[in-house]
Structure 1
Amino acid sequence: MTERIDETIAVENRYHNRELSWLQFNARVLQEAEDETTPLIERLRFLGIFSNNLDEFFKVRYATIKRIAEAGKGGRSFLGGITAKDLMEEITQTVIEQQKTSLRILSDIEKKLQKENIHMVDETQITKAQGAFITEYFVQKVSPALATIMIGELDEFPLLKDSAAYLAVRMKMSKDDDTFASKYNYALIEIPRTIERFVVLPSDGEKQYIIILDDLIRYCLDNIFSIFKYDSISAHMIKITRDAELDLDSDLSRSFIEKISKSVKNRSVGDPVRFVYDKSIDKETLRYLMDKMGVDDTDSIIPGGRYHNRRDYMGFPSLGRKDLQYEKIQPLRIKGLSLQGSLLDKIAQKDYLLYAPYQTFSYVVKFLREAALDPKVKKIKITIYRLAQVSHIASSLINAVKNGKEVTVQIELQARFDEAANIRYAEQMQSEGVRLIFGVAGLKVHCKACLVERLEGEKVKRYAFVSTGNFNESTARLYTDYTLFTANQKICKEINKVFDFFEVNYKVKKYRHLIVSPHYTRNTLYSLIDTEIENHRLGRASGIKLKLNSLSDFKMIDKLYEASRAGVKIQMIVRGICCLIPGIKGMSENIEVISIVDKFLEHPRLFIFENGGEQKMYISSADFMGRNLDNRVEISCPIYDEDIKAEINDTFSICWNDNVKARVITEKQDNAYRKNKKEKIRSQFKTYEYYQQKLKE
């Protein structure tokens, strides 16, 4: 056995900091917004994704670092060699620079949109005809939804909602106005979330016009404040982001659903962690607001542009311009598996793999709908983490109950930012007779599995599907994920053990096929890596291929370093956080890491071990993060079908050879694109072509 990583190497030289690595992932998203080969409207949407990601980052990760700093702890070992206070400062500076870049990109996109006859106009550029339209639109749709607060007259400053955007209004009062005692008065206008952020104005010939709702409101300020007399009025955007941690009360009389509901509501009043303001705001107004809100130097204070909540660009209108968007692909069928007839009969004969969005998610819905109708099906068990807003999954499960099936749903009420939606579905399913399980105390249930029990003759036969992603029709069009359909009774039996664990969780089950967190994943992966080390030492086939969303667990990283030092070649595709530093002599010279950010969100978790020529392969719900290995229920499912193994190897190889959208992860963290003189391979497009070709074979 090779020696472990030298513990004397400074921790900051062994790992990238998790938070800074995440910011580099978000920088890759920003690269997509900047990439001139990306269609214009899609570039705007990537800006929206960048902004939305940043909001969630501050609600969760920055809030955690702030708590460490406020507790007076350094946090060096937990944070990868940097103190919490220093990290907060570095995050703020990095974000300020990224925000500057995003504003520059937005300006460039808007100029290019003008060349396409799409014009973004503000309140100062409105024509007479547009003004009449805006006034009517404001009166009919916007004014009834506005919340306007005269903060200058309040004894206590109102609590601003988390991530809501506000216009901070400053009025210089006229001498003959006796409404207020002070020369200046202030108000806050909350930008309504119930109204589309982008208002399409009447076109002028081929020219199309869009005004942002903020500017539409600015245009109508005189309408809003018509009862006052003022010499001047101005409005600047502000936004506050709050700590999103859920604090559950210990009231034993409350149901778990009630506790989560209360905690989600309390999130809106969490401590502030970031304050973003329009950098053109006057100093007096800014000082007034910060004093009133209690924003201090432990919060991240970000001078921004004229508009906040740029996440809304994710919903930028299409305007009928297909030429400025990605061409929509038609999800393909799975070869040999028809959506007509019985899926269960087909799956009884062999395993099938679905790779969304290249192939249609309709197979998952069809599986459940068939199970709901089939008189031989007696039980359905499923885990749910994030459902679509309109979920055919949920309706199929309710339909199954109405057909006399016993339906058990393990629903995770603490799926971050989807708690409210899951609560709504939980209450709906419960009222229809679905049996709900709310997980295991202290553990999130993050695995993605469904099990069906069918009475065939006198025997019960099980059918299952296991996935790397959520059972969500909406995200299945945007996220790449593997789903295995199987009637392998050994695998199905062990999936049933996982559901048994949800009910009787003081008993730890044993598994021969599945790798299940929190009890087995870490040590099993260590053992699989040790086998590769030993095989390399003996001259047998060795090597590790991993596809992950995130890699942040220091012990797992050290284990991979150990394999590298032993000579094992490791290829990793890591979309997001990567705390491992590849390519360092004596530590990680045998490890290569790339990240792919493109049209779809890369989401599968895949583990491939060469195993001396007897390749072991798993699809998984687990990333290499401490929470997935030790504090969640996760399933890594083996792939036994040789055809499916070959298919997964092919799709991994396509991704690995990407030289268009792949970035090489290095010590520098500079997000350099992988460039070479080989044939251009854009892996997501090539993967779709791969599946098109399979249907022709």
Structure 2
Amino acid sequence: MSDTELYYPKELSWLSFNERVLQEAADKNNPIVERIRFLGIYSNNLDEYFRVRVADVKRLIIIHMNEGNIDAAEQMKLLMERIQDKVKSMTGEFDRIFEDVVKGLARYNIHLLDSKDVTPYQSEWLRDYFQNKILRHIAPILLHKKVDLVSRLNGESTYLYVAIYKKDVATKYATIEVPSEAISRFVVIPPEKSRKKKHIIILDDIIKLCLEQIFRGFVAFDKLEAFSFKMTRDAEYHINDEIDESFVDKMSESVKQRLNSEPVRVSYDADMPIEMVKNLRKRLKISSLDSLTAGGHYRNFKDFIGFPNVGRAYLESPLLPAISRKIFAEHDTIFDAIKAKDVLLYYPYHRFLHFTEFVRQAAFDPKVRHIRLNIYRVASKSRIISSLIDAVDNGKTVTVVVELRARFDEANNIEWSKRMTEAGIRVVLGSPSFKIHSKLCVVSREERGELIHYAHFGTGNFNEKTAKIYTDFSLFTRNQELAEEAIQVFDLIQQPYRRTKFQHLQVSPLNSRTKIQALVRQEIQNANSGLPSGITLKVNNLVDKELIDDLYRASQSGVKVKAIVRGMCSLRPGIKGLSENITIISVVDRFLEHPRVMVFENADKKRVFISSADWMTRNMDNRIEVGCPVYDEDLQQQIVDILNIQFKDTIKARVIDKDQQNKYVRRGNRRKLRSQIETYNYLKAKDH
């Protein structure tokens, strides 16, 4: 079979994932405000997709062409065409859904206005609001030959492209950045009469309404027209190799480079006149490899993730109060609780406060000697780091590994590394060779004259904000063999050329691939010997071809493989003679499914692992990742139960078939089951 028949292209698979997000926006069973927020999530995802995935494809085309590898370049061009066709189709669906959602909001007396809809009263109020609140943040760029527009634009922002018409004079153009960082994108207009009706106008439309106030007295015009556009840049960066620069300084410079990187997509209002489109294209130097996409009136729809609910509470999803683990309340300290029994948390169902409390108590506990933690993404206001600074003040040794290349969080991590260093924390700036993506924390306490280690292994970041919306597992253990191997990972980061062997942990790039492959081979051997066999996976992405081939071999040997894949999936399930024993679903719902979990039947002696690593080549070979075995049988069963709940989902689960059609799982005569709600109820019952 050819590569195309064996593996679904990961770039197209990612679009299939985002199509599932779009399905949530289309789903009329979702509360109307949540539907418009899903449109924001879709838009944010697509923006990152172009910045990273599409930019990679464009780069490969250019590289292959420069090397004279015409066949490879043509293959990449065909992939780019398929991407652009799919995005165009999804953009049309997006616009249709948005129109439907706006009508739906109106049925609940929430009216989304544009600049043409406002009443005289609203116009007067908005002009006054613009003069007093917005105008101070407006600085148009008047375009002429010497203005390099590409270098002047911020890839994160929405812009208005303004045509300045004057009789007998060539049309002039200007751009205006919509200042959504300074002012809310959504402005609620005070009621004129009925308080029942709520009117919301987008910041862009207020600026359009008040264009004359911006240009009058500075530019001669008979008429002004403005239409939105957004430029998306290539997010790749390059670190220069000058030895005399610190790694932090290199990263700071590379973040600046992103501001001047090449555009890969320009999206614009479909109502923009053709002459304006041509002028914009010329100004932005759009090549045939770049995407130029017409769409609805608004760009940067990611702001709609924060669309306000100005109506009744039922217009958005009800809160699910995070569950407090009873085991922590039963003991004086978190360390006493972990000493009694390994503890498993599953965010956001459980309170992330339990982890922040683990670090807070460690910061002042007289028995604690050393705290080790690694950072990939943290909140901009991190209680965890505040506690680590307190720990230094209390005389503890604190070591923090900071990954400066966490994509889109580089600036935040650079700032934190500087603040922690100033506070006396020993900051280790990762490795120039490998990204540090593991989720480790080890607290070492002196107990009865002996140093005892308490370890945390997780599938998600130490981030108070994302812990409210991402599902992730956290394991707390006093198992000294696991904890000591976790400390060895910290040593490995600081001394990458030191030879280290891990008996328990799966540690990329050293042994994750070989350990996983050995586990798969064991299941194949068990199946061939007539013993119970089976593999259950949950990952964000399944695209590593070598591991996919291992799963194909397992399927061909009769091993039943079940997987839950949120994002990209290159494996093609259900192909006779290849993958008929493989079943894959994807669940998209109010929380983002983020854990990485592996369960191997192992002849009825289950082996269960949680991990920071997806099944991607970069996670196996080019990052430091950690997978941890779960030895406690009760916790093993909890993980298996949660996975089984997801496999029973009849509301939010989609089948990932060989062509990724995103069909919902058929319910048949089964009861309706929404796995995220069922999981919450399951975990709540465990602590009552």
Please report the TM-score for the alignment, with normalisation by the length of structure 1. Answer: 0.95
1:177-233 Cα deviation digits (max 9, x unpaired): xxxxx3311111111132211111113420001101110000000101112342221
Residue 60 of structure 2 is matched in structure 1 by: 68
Unmatched tracts of structure 1, length 5 or more: 1-8, 176-181
Seen in structure 2, the aligned counterparts of structure 1 residues 643 and 157 have a Cα distance that, compared at 3 Å, is closer
Q: CA RMSD in A?
A: 1.7
Tell me which amino acid in the other structure corresponds to 2:565: V
Structure 1 residue 351: deviation in Å? 0.1
What is the SS of the residue equivalent to 1:147? Answer: coil
SS in 1 for 2:216: coil
- Whole-Å separation in 2 of the counterparts to 1:582 and 1:394: 44
Distance 1:551 1:82 in 2: 26
> Paired residue for 2:609?
618
| Residue 18 of structure 2 corresponds to residue 26 of structure 1 | yes
Q: Which residue of 2 is the match for residue 164 of structure 1?
A: 157
Task: Say if 2:177 is the partner of 1:190.
Answer: yes
- The match for 1:413 is 404
Q: Structure 2: any 5+ residue segments left out of the alignment?
A: none
Q: Find the aligned partners of 2:506 and 2:464 in 1 and give their Cα distance.
A: 27
Matched, 1:212 2:202: yes
Choose which of 98, 107, 121 in structure 1 pairs with 2:99. 107
Q: Post-superposition shift, 1:526?
A: 0.6
Letter in structure 2 aligned against 1:329: L
**Paired residues for 1:128-147 under 5 Å:** 128-147=120-139
1:148-205: CA deviations, max 9, x gaps? 0110474544622213211111121145xxxxxx331111111113221111111342
Inter-CA distance 26–474: structure 2 relative to 1 (3 Å threshold): same
* 1:518-567 CA distance string (max 9 Å, x none): 01000111100000000011111110000000001011101100000011
For residue 124 of structure 1, the aligned residue among 108, 113, 116 is: 116
- 1:36 corresponds to which of 21, 25, 28: 28
For each residue in 1:387-425, what CA deviation from the matched residue of structure 2 results, as whole angstroms up to 9, or x when unmatched?
012111111111111111100000111000011111111
Note closer, same or farther for the CA distance 1:241–1:661 as it changes in structure 2 (3 Å cut). same
Q: 1:682 to 1:230 in 2, by over 3 A?
A: same
Q: Which residue pairs with 1:553 in the alignment?
A: 544
Corresponding residue number in structure 1 for 2:556: 565
Work out whether residues 208 and 226 of structure 2, in 8 Å CA contact, stay in contact via their aligned partners in 1: yes
Asked whether the 8 Å contact 2:64–2:72 carries over to 1, the reply is: no
CA deviation after TM superposition for structure 1 residue 124, in Å? 1.3
SS in structure 1 at match of 2:452: strand
The more displaced of 286-295 and 683-692 is: 286-295
Q: Counterpart in 2 of 1:179?
A: none
Counterpart residue number, 1:173: 166
TM-score, normalising length: structure 2: 0.97
| Structure 1 contact 331–358 (Cα < 8 Å) conserved | yes
1:478 counterpart residue number: 469
Match of 2:516 among 507, 522, 525: 525
Query: Who is 2:583 aligned against?
Result: 592
Does structure 2 retain, via aligned residues, the 8 Å contact 1:163–1:241? yes
Alignment-mate amino acid for residue 581 of structure 2: N
- Which among 508, 519, 538 is matched to residue 499 of structure 2? 508
Instruction: Judge conservation of contact 2:328–2:334 (CA < 8 Å) in 1.
Output: yes
Identity of aligned residues (%): 44
Q: Distance in 2 between matches of 1:32 and 1:688?
A: 20
Instruction: Tell me the CA shift for residue 82 of structure 1.
Output: 8.1
Query: Measured at CA, do residues 339 and 103 of structure 1 come closer, stay the same or move farther in structure 2, by a change above 3 Å?
Result: farther
Partner of 2:360, secondary structure, is: helix
Contact 2:150–2:283 (Cα < 8 Å) also in 1 = no
Residue of structure 2 equivalent to 1:226: 216
Q: Using the alignment, how far apart are the partners of 2:350 and 2:109 within structure 1?
A: 36
CA shift at 1:106, angstroms? 0.4
3-state SS of the aligned residue for 1:308?
coil
For 1:384 and 1:612, the matched residues in 2 are separated by 38
CA distance in 1, matches of 2:129, 2:460: 41
Q: Is the 8 A contact 1:110 1:119 kept in 2?
A: yes
CA-to-partner distance for each residue in 1:480-525, whole Å, 9 max, x for gaps?
0000010000100100100111111101310111111001000111
Q: 1:73 to 1:546 in 2, by over 3 A?
A: farther
Paired with 2:267 and 2:512, the residues of 1 have a C-alpha distance of 41
Q: CA deviation at 1:81?
A: 12
Helix, strand or coil at the partner of 2:64: coil
- Is contact 1:174-1:231 (8 Å) kept? yes
Deviations 1:265-292 (A, max 9, x none): 1101101111111121111111112112
Q: Distance in 2 between matches of 1:117 and 1:679?
A: 34
In the alignment, which of 236, 242, 249 is matched to residue 245 of structure 1?
236
Q: Secondary structure at the match of 2:462?
A: coil
Q: 1:414 to 1:593 in 2, by over 3 A?
A: same
Counterpart-to-counterpart distance in 2, 1:265 and 1:565: 50
**Conserved? CA contact 1:162–1:269, under 8 Å:** no
1:337 is paired with a residue of what secondary structure?
Answer: helix
Residues 166-565 of structure 1: matches in 2 within 5 Å? 166-174=159-167, 182-192=169-179, 193-203=181-191, 204-227=194-217, 228-319=219-310, 321-338=312-329, 341-565=332-556
Deviation string, structure 1 residues 622-661 (Cα, Å, up to 9, x no partner): 0000000000000100000011011111111101111110
